[in-house]
């Protein structure tokens, strides 16, 4: 026994944060599209771990379902594209580096500014506060149906708008991907007795 | 408890309450801090083991938590790995019997029960080959990705009342999200092998798993709706008592949706007749064509782990989980033992015994589910890819959606339910089962909160 006390929540926070940041960097620096998708999965999975660590179980599971699962589709596309050995490695040109650096830097500055603006984070951390485990799932569900526990108007309308938007997208995708009868096929069919 | 709200009330009443509630100007629900239960992200429900380490052995807190986490992981990994050993043997025996053969008979004396171990030793001795065309990094990672995804689902699966790695209040959702990630490893394997067969197999599996996620999710909503919770422990406990309380007998929608769930589960763990990804007649061996030795066996551990996982999930969602068909243990044996020994019914030893029986119950049900999957595999021919997608889109999705709507109807109008068995509630003190999410204010509301909420409310109305 070392005698040292390991604060597991802090340890796991740093671990997941390091994994998330490290693999996010790896996504940027890698040239291989399938490797990128794999690193992105790990980064997003570590983010889900961070959510679960704070007790936001619903958001954590959602992160797995939507982001990690969504990257799966990205991976499928990546594999389909690179199977032809045309896009197997992506070269980033200098102009793209500059654009990306400006955009990413602007976002980083904004996020950093917002993070520093949180007043609670300026004070010294209290000695030991057991994090309140809030079971947020029912709150989220109620807020989506239009009732918020902390007052306010809920999110029924945005929820419906997003749902309708998704429906439109689905129908549009179905329309675009529908099997078109090719002219030659139709002509061939006409010629058949 | 707020007036007019009870656990067992139908949805209509709850909704009416929901819409009325804001006018009262006070928070709908005040949630209890469950810090006691979920400390530092590594918890075991009840924390008895941690308390034992801390109090009896006088270990420091962090060491106790670490030990408990390690013990849980050890148990779960051994369940998955040992399960794979057993199921591979069982599969050979089942296949043999169905094809009028004996299957393995020699290794380990009778029934060839050590056959898988012999195979495992052979696999360990095999050369670990990475093909020349392969992407070495991804090729090496892929089996571990598959196995990790399959294993993570077990973390949230309860084996008995409160016997669970990590009790999540969205456990059902978490497991469904995780099970879908197993295909990640398969796609990586297919891509990284640098072989056409592997790539085709992986692409087929991706298409199949992504499309079967939809009906699977819809099916799982039905028992969640009956229970009023996504917490698997609560769902299991709500089916206590006689088998009439099992959710599969709750109403016709639940009965139908179980079969849809089972079909989708077989497809989502990539078993025959949905095993296009490894169709021998077309693709050599599909995504694992280029694998050998231990890496190959990791894919199979993942597959058998997932099979057991979806079967255990079916057992909890539809077949009473850790509750047997008759409450022999909880209402017969345990009170009798308590009376004999003079101990309380809640004494740790008796609770432990009851949970052990429940755990055996659940695993037995899960093994039955896996056996049925094997039976299906060796009975039905493999489907074509268009038949696979037709089964999903034209049959499973509409059926699941219909059952979902029917279940909403039965929740709103329970008296129209033509399967009233469930209303007898034989042997189930269901009213006493706590629903952690939702409708119970779990601690008293302080007057300040009420005043503040009223203020906000009136300000909004003036605005």
Q: Name the residue with higher pLDDT: B435 or B244.
A: B244
Q: Say yes or no to pLDDT of B457 above 60.
A: no
Can you give the pLDDT at residue B222? 92
CA atoms within 13 A on the CB side of B447: 0
Q: What is the pLDDT of residues B384-418, one digit of tens each?
A: 888 888 888 889 999 999 999 999 988 888 778 77
Is residue A22 very low, low, confident or very high in pLDDT (cuts 50, 70, 90)?
Answer: very high
Q: Which residues contact A19 (CB under 8 A, 6 or more apart)?
A: A42, A43, A46, A49
Bigger pLDDT: A155 vs B52 = A155
User: pLDDT at residue A110 above 90?
Assistant: yes
Interchain CB distance below 8 Å, B62 and A130: no
Instruction: Please determine, for residue B1, whether its predicted confidence score (pLDDT) is greater than 50.
Output: no
Q: Which residue among A38, A58, A135 sits closest to B31, beta carbon to beta carbon? A: A135
Q: Does A69 touch chain B (CB under 8 A)?
A: yes
Q: Among the ranges A98-112, B189-203, B242-256, which has the highest mean pLDDT value?
A: A98-112
Distance from CA of A99 to the nearest CA of B (A): 30
Q: Kindly list the domain boundaries of chain A, sorted by start residue.
A: 1-135, 138-193
> Picking from A10-14, B178-182, B308-312, B446-450, which range would have the lowest pLDDT averaged per residue?
B446-450
pLDDT-wise least confident of B142-151, B197-206, B350-359, B454-463: B454-463
Check whether B3 has a pLDDT greater than 70.
no
Find the mean pLDDT for residues A161-166: 91
In this prediction, residue B341 carries a pLDDT of 81
Kindly tell me if the per-residue pLDDT of B21 is higher than 60.
Answer: no
Measure CB to CB from residue B181 to each of A69, A132, A142 and give the nearest one: A69
Burial of B382: CB neighbours in 10 Å, binned 0-12, 13-18, 19+ = middle
What number is the average pLDDT over the span A161-180? 85
From A72, A133, A147, residue closest to B38, measured CB to CB: A133
Contact check, Cβ <8 Å, A34/B138 = yes
What does pLDDT average to over chain B?
Answer: 76
- CB contact under 8 Å between A135 and B37, yes or no, is no
Residues in chain B: 463
Spell out which residues of chain B touch residue A6, defining contact as CB-CB under 8 Å. Answer: 62, 66
Distance from CA of B30 to the nearest CA of A (A): 9
pLDDT at site A124:
65
Question: Looking at CA atoms only, how far is residue A102 from chain B in angstroms?
Answer: 32
Return the half-sphere exposure (C-beta side, CA atoms, 13 A cut-off) of residue A2: 5
pLDDT digits (tens, 9 = 90+) for B67-88: 888 888 888 888 888 888 888 8
Chain B: closest CA distance from residue A150 (Å):
7
- The Cα-based distances of A113 to A107, A116, A124, B338 in angstroms read 10, 5, 19, 63
Q: Are B83 and B303 in contact (CB under 8 A)?
A: no
- In this complex, do A58 and B184 lie within 8 Å of one another by their Cβ atoms? no
User: Rounded mean pLDDT of B43-72?
Assistant: 71
Contact (CB<8Å) A8/B38: no
Q: What is the ipTM of this complex?
A: 0.78
DSSP B279: -
What does the mean pLDDT of chain A come to? 78
Task: Give B258-307 pLDDT, tens digit per residue.
Answer: 999 999 998 888 777 877 767 666 777 777 777 877 888 888 888 888 89
Q: How confident is the model at residue A90, as a pLDDT?
A: 67
Q: Is B108 exposed, middle or buried (0-12, 13-18, 19+ CB in 10 A)?
A: middle
Cα distance between residue A61 and residue B422, in whole Å: 32
Measured between CB atoms, which of B35, B173, B183 is closest to A132?
Answer: B35
The residue ranking higher by pLDDT, B25 or B452, is B452
Helix, strand and coil in chain A, % to nearest 5: 70, 0, 30
| Cα–Cα distance, B35 to B384 (Å, whole number) | 51
Which of A60-64, B262-266, B272-276, B422-426 is the least confident region? B422-426
Residue A129, pLDDT score: 54
Q: What is the percent of chain B with per-residue pLDDT over 70, rounded to a whole number? A: 79
* pLDDT at residue B440 is higher than 50: no
pLDDT at B40 exceeding the cut of 60: no
User: Greater confidence, B264 or B344?
Assistant: B264
A88-A94-A99-A102 Cα dihedral, nearest 10 degrees: 120
B197-228 confidence digits (pLDDT tens): 888 888 888 888 888 888 998 999 999 988 87
% of chain B at pLDDT higher than 90:
10
Architecture in CATH of A1-135: Up-down Bundle (1.20)
Write the DSSP assignment of B147-162 as a string of letters: HHHHHHGGGG--SBTT
């Amino acid at each position: 026994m070392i005698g040292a006390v390991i604060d597991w929540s802090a340890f796991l926070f740093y671990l997941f944060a390091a994994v998330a940041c490290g693999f996010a960097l790896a996504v940027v620096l890698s040239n291989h599209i399938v490797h990128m998708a794999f690193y992105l999965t790990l980064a997003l999975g570590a983010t889900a771990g961070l959510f679960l660590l704070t007790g936001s179980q619903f958001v954590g599971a959602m992160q797995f379902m939507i982001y990690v699962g969504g990257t799966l589709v990205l991976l499928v596309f990546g594999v389909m594209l690179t199977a032809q050995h045309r896009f197997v490695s992506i070269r980033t040109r200098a102009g793209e580096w500059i654009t990306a650096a400006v955009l990413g830097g602007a976002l980083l500055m904004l996020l950093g500014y917002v993070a520093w603006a949180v007043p609670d984070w300026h004070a010294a951390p209290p000695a030991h506060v057991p994090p309140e485990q809030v079971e947020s799932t029912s709150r989220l569900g109620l807020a989506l149906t239009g009732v918020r526990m902390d007052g306010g108007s809920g999110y029924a309308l945005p929820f419906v708008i997003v749902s309708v938007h998704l429906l439109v997208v689905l129908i549009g995708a179905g329309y675009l991907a529908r099997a078109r009868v090719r002219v030659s096929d139709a002509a061939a069919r006409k010629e058949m007795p | 408890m707020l007036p007019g709200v009870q656990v067992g009330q139908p949805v209509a009443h709850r909704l009416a309450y929901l819409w009325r509630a804001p006018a009262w100007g006070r928070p709908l629900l005040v949630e209890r801090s469950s810090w006691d239960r979920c400390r530092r992200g590594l918890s075991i429900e009840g924390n008895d083991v941690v308390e034992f380490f801390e109090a009896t052995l006088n270990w420091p807190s962090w060491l106790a938590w670490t030990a408990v986490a390690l013990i849980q992981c050890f148990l779960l990994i051994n369940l998955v790995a040992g399960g794979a050993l057993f199921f591979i043997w069982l599969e050979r025996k089942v296949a043999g019997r169905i094809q009028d053969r004996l299957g393995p008979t020699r290794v380990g004396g009778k029934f060839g029960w050590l056959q898988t171990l012999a195979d495992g030793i052979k696999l360990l001795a095999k050369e670990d080959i990475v093909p020349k065309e392969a992407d070495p990094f991804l090729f090496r990672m892929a089996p571990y990705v598959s196995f990790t995804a399959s294993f993570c689902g077990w973390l949230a699966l309860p084996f008995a009342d409160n016997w669970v790695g990590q009790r999540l209040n969205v456990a059902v959702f978490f497991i469904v999200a995780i099970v879908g990630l197993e295909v990640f490893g398969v796609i990586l394997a297919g891509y990284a092998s640098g072989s056409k067969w592997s790539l085709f197999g992986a692409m087929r599996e991706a298409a199949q798993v992504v499309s079967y996620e939809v009906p699977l999710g819809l099916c799982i909503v039905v028992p969640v709706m009956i229970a009023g919770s996504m917490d698997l422990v609560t769902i299991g406990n709500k089916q206590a008592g006689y088998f009439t309380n099992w959710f599969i007998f709750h109403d016709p929608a639940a009965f139908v949706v179980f079969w849809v769930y089972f079909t989708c589960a077989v497809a989502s763990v990539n078993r025959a007749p949905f095993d296009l990804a490894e169709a021998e007649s077309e693709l050599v061996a599909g995504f694992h064509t280029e694998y050998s030795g231990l890496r190959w066996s990791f894919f199979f551990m993942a597959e058998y782990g997932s099979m057991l996982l979806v079967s255990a999930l079916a057992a909890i969602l539809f077949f009473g989980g850790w509750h047997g068909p008759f409450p022999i243990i909880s209402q017969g044996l345990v009170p009798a033992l308590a009376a004999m020994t003079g101990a309380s019914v809640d004494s740790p030893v008796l609770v432990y015994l009851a949970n052990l029986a429940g755990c055996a119950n659940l695993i037995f049900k899960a093994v039955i589910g896996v056996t049925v999957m094997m039976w299906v595999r060796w009975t039905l021919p493999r489907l074509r890819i268009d038949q696979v997608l037709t089964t999903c889109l034209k049959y499973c999705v509409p059926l699941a959606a219909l059952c979902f709507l029917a279940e909403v109807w039965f929740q709103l109008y329970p008296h129209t339910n033509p399967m009233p068995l469930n209303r007898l509630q034989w042997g189930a003190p269901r009213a006493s089962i706590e629903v952690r999410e939702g409708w119970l204010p779990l601690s008293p509301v302080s007057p300040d909160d009420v005043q503040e909420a009223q203020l906000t409310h009136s300000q909004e109305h003036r605005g």
